[in-house]
């Protein structure tokens, strides 16, 4: 039936405005989450190389650096902190997306067009956020463990 025929023109315009706003917020949230994921992946790979190099230089018999033993734990702590912040940002993005999608679903149900949007997509998006978090966690773990093993065993 489309939009409820009892609604006035102003109400329809307001619904269109709210719909556009929610869709815009969803798009902005997706862009922000993408930036966090890409940044975390790049950061972890770069830090892996840096930490490994620092750890290797500490254990090298030819190293004259006295700063390496100080820098290494600082880099490890920075890696942990950056990844914790990224995961928190993704969790906030997940909550935001779920809230916005619930609002859209309610709007669609109220106006008789909910059959065109599958509410199961909320669960799909939630699963995607969990997978992003796992990827970031695994890369963070590698960025921490590999250089630490090099430091200890090297």
What is the 3-class SS of the chain, one letter each residue?
CCCCCCCCHHHHHHHHHHHHHHHHHHHHHHHHHHHHHHHHHHHHHHHHHHHHHHHHHHHCCCCCCCCHHHHHHHHHHHHHHHHHHHHHHHHHHHHHHHHHHHHHHHHHHHCCCHHHCCCCHHHHHHHHHHHHHHHHHHHHHHHHHHHHHHHHHC
* Interior angle at CA 98, CA 92 and CA 100, nearest 5: 100
Domains of the chain: residue spans and CATH: 9-153 (1.20.58)
Of the pLDDT bands very low, low, confident and very high (cuts 50, 70, 90), residue 60 is low
Report the C-alpha gap between 49 and 124 in whole angstroms: 34
**Does position 9 have pLDDT exceeding 90, yes or no?**
no
Can you give the pLDDT at residue 122?
85
Q: How confident is the model at residue 136 (pLDDT cuts 50, 70, 90)?
A: very high
Average pLDDT of span 142-149: 90
At residue 2, the pLDDT reads 47
Instruction: Dig out the tokens for 149 from the structure.
Output: 């093993």
Q: Label residue 142 by pLDDT band (50, 70, 90).
A: very high
* Residue with the two structure tokens 């630490």: 148
Residues in the chain: 154
Tell me the pLDDT tens digit for each residue of 83-114. Answer: 999 999 999 999 999 999 999 999 998 988 88
Amino acid 101: pLDDT: 92
**To the nearest whole number, what is the mean pLDDT of the chain?**
86
73 pLDDT band, cuts 50/70/90, is confident
* Burial per residue of 99-137, b for 16 or more beta-carbon CB atoms within 10 angstroms, e otherwise: ebbebbbebbeebeeeeeeeeeebeebeeebeebbeebe
Instruction: Read off the pLDDT of residues 27-56 as tens digits, 9 standing for 90 and up.
Output: 999 999 999 999 999 999 999 898 888 777
Residue 22 to residue 17: CA distance in whole angstroms: 9
């Amino acid at each position: 039936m489309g939009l409820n025929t009892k609604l006035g023109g102003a109400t329809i315009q307001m619904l269109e405005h709210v719909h556009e706003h929610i869709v815009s917020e969803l798009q902005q949230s997706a862009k922000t989450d993408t930036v966090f994921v890409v940044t975390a992946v790049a950061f972890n790979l770069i830090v892996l190389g840096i930490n490994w190099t620092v750890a290797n230089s500490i254990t090298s018999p030819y190293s004259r650096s006295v700063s390496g033993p100080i820098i290494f734990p600082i880099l490890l702590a920075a890696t942990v902190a950056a990844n914790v912040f990224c995961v928190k940002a993704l969790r906030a993005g997940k909550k935001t997306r779920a809230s916005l999608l619930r609002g859209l679903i309610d709007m669609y149900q109220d106006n008789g067009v909910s059959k065109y949007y599958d509410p199961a997509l909320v669960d799909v998006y939630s699963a995607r956020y969990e997978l992003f978090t796992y990827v970031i966690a695994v890369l963070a773990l590698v960025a921490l463990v590999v250089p630490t093993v090099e430091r200890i065993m090297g």
